[in-house]
Structure 1
């Protein structure tokens, strides 16, 4: 391992500049290819071949794995730590989203979506937005109690809460921890309106809690469907539910009377934009009522991670995809300007939006809405119990 000052997060060309640096290798079941240091770290760390390691692809000695053979990347384990947050409801004032408050039960996400805009937040923990983001997770065991406390405050005024805006509330660890289910239970007890964003079929587990709220227009679900191509989906979102399982979850939710919107996000020109019409049609057939889209966003470290991913999985498309991305951002990789950061600008972005509008009209679908009823809210008492009156 070699250490060097970290002037930027761009590590794409380090191996070309120094052949002794070992190239990053994709890990089975993981999205990011590398584990580059976050933008707040003083030094970057690179694997360096000092001559003791055999080269990638070298034949093992005597039929066994040679010592130091690096042709196979080691399997990475997922760890779970505790997030000691003192509040659970996060506020925002973004004009690009139709809500002002959200809950994220977990930090980091094992789904490993390479494009995830939350990856850079791991840098605040001194961790990498790369592989650390999808292998070093944190959960908030006190979240249900903290939520009751915040809802009990006399100054609190109800408005729809969105669960899962940064990382997926139904990622694999939720099967064991059931933290999201506990939060949904608190909101249901208080008759507080909420919406859930996920790309996991596990959300159907909680239909028993969501459906009664939905009957009173107090709950909805937004399912993220990026591609119907299983290979592409598996590379983009390696530990998320397969496309057919998401469509099946939409059917189950819809059959239970829960309104479902589909988020086709992100749309990546040159990679999944050819699927727009088929995506909308499939989601409509599954029962979704509305659909919206977001084009690829590459803030901070994600730009390098995504281009590295392209180089590993779609090297023949890398230059074309990045060119199209820049055409949607006025020649830049990313533009954070409100109003355009979600949709982009220019002919490519306009064409994508037009195709979605036409597909939406063809299938009688609407855009996403969070028009939920807040009038039935019951404020919990100071001890967390609900009032009788």
Structure 2
């Protein structure tokens, strides 16, 4: 592991890929062999997957189908559960996840093919179920914009979760879809403290900019909510009241949360980061996380894994509920209007 904190990155090193029998490490600094720089640059690879939209089988994630135009995410959020999936591609869940991004160049084509299947009935699809669809490379490739254009054309309902203000670039499409109840947006904010964000989510936009996104979309009539996630006990849990209040004041109507869970290799990555980012209270934060998962840092049991269990998890739950009520969040329900969905060929018929 790296000995000094790498500014601008979440993970502080690469961890071994669990699918590899062998791995390499830097054991002797004075060795004559060259070694990669401690501040790796972001690289991207163009890929052409065979499928794009995925069925979500987990019963507690709030979505039936997801689609992700990018594998890996430059935002570098240290807690991101998607890190583990990077290992399937032969990379590390550590620095590789945020520096070696795969761009699914045929995303728009595959999306169109999926929603025009005879068996498809227009079930809502979530963008960013794994990695952020508005991460920095989206500015160059515009895959998310292409997907939204296609969704709008066919009346396909879409939900989006992001922590990047780049979403405002597509406000024209999103607002038009919202007029037909075809789009809902959630902005992720778990802290209003800039120093915390810089360490926790190093390449994301500031909380102030995210609140601006909520306000801007709300004024356009877009239904917007906030994901106060993940709540990290001992680090961000005390910010729940002010995060929810700020989001509600900006125009958010709904709110959700999860308690951090460090499954797979993320536990090792997070613990290393924690001792470098917050050496004075690393153990306290670590034990607070454990108190929410039966003494571990991860609980895979459906129904408990997202919110945690125990006294501290209950305190987080009670605080969240109370401040949602105070700020009149989650008062009304939102339903997509799937009646707008048009199967392949029906678009032309509607013109007559």
What corresponds to 1:42 in structure 2? 21
- CA offsets 1:91-137 (integer angstroms, 9 cap, x no match): 01221022210110100000000000000011111110000000000
**SS of match in other structure, 1:282:** helix
Counterpart mapping for 1:1-389 below 5 A: 23-49=2-28, 51=30, 74-366=38-330, 371-381=335-345, 386-389=347-350
Contact kept? 1:107, 1:137, Cα under 8 Å:
yes
Q: CA, structure 1 residues 24+126, in 2 after alignment: closer, same or farther (shift >3 Å)? A: farther
CA distance, structure 1, for counterparts of residue 3 and residue 131 of structure 2: 25
**SS of match in other structure, 2:349:** coil
Find the structure with the greater CA-based Rg.
1
Q: CA, structure 1 residues 283+85, in 2 after alignment: closer, same or farther (shift >3 Å)? A: same
CA distance, structure 2, for counterparts of residue 51 and residue 242 of structure 1: 39
CA distance, structure 2, for counterparts of residue 254 and residue 336 of structure 1: 35
Q: CA, structure 1 residues 367+182, in 2 after alignment: closer, same or farther (shift >3 Å)? A: farther
Runs of 4+ with >4 A deviation: 367-370
Contact kept? 2:192, 2:243, Cα under 8 Å:
yes
The aligned length equals 350
Instruction: Name the TM-score, length of structure 2 as normaliser.
Output: 0.95
CA distance, structure 2, for counterparts of residue 218 and residue 83 of structure 1: 29
CA distance, structure 2, for counterparts of residue 36 and residue 182 of structure 1: 35
Contact kept? 1:27, 1:73, Cα under 8 Å:
no
* RMSD, matched Cα: 2.0
- Please list every run of 5 or more consecutive structure 1 residues that lacks an aligned counterpart in the other structure: 1-10, 12-22, 54-67
- CA offsets 1:345-379 (integer angstroms, 9 cap, x no match): 11111110100110011011107966211011011
Higher helix share: 2
- CA offsets 1:14-69 (integer angstroms, 9 cap, x no match): xxxxxxxxx4433221110011121111123221226458xxxxxxxxxxxxxx9x
**SS of match in other structure, 1:253:** helix
- Please list every run of 5 or more consecutive structure 2 residues that lacks an aligned counterpart in the other structure: none
CA distance, structure 2, for counterparts of residue 262 and residue 206 of structure 1: 19
Contact kept? 1:26, 1:32, Cα under 8 Å:
no
Instruction: Name the TM-score, length of structure 1 as normaliser.
Output: 0.86
**SS of match in other structure, 2:238:** helix
Q: CA, structure 1 residues 230+317, in 2 after alignment: closer, same or farther (shift >3 Å)? A: same
CA distance, structure 2, for counterparts of residue 52 and residue 173 of structure 1: 36
CA distance, structure 2, for counterparts of residue 313 and residue 50 of structure 1: 23
**SS of match in other structure, 1:365:** coil
TM-aligned CA deviation for residue 295 of structure 1:
0.5
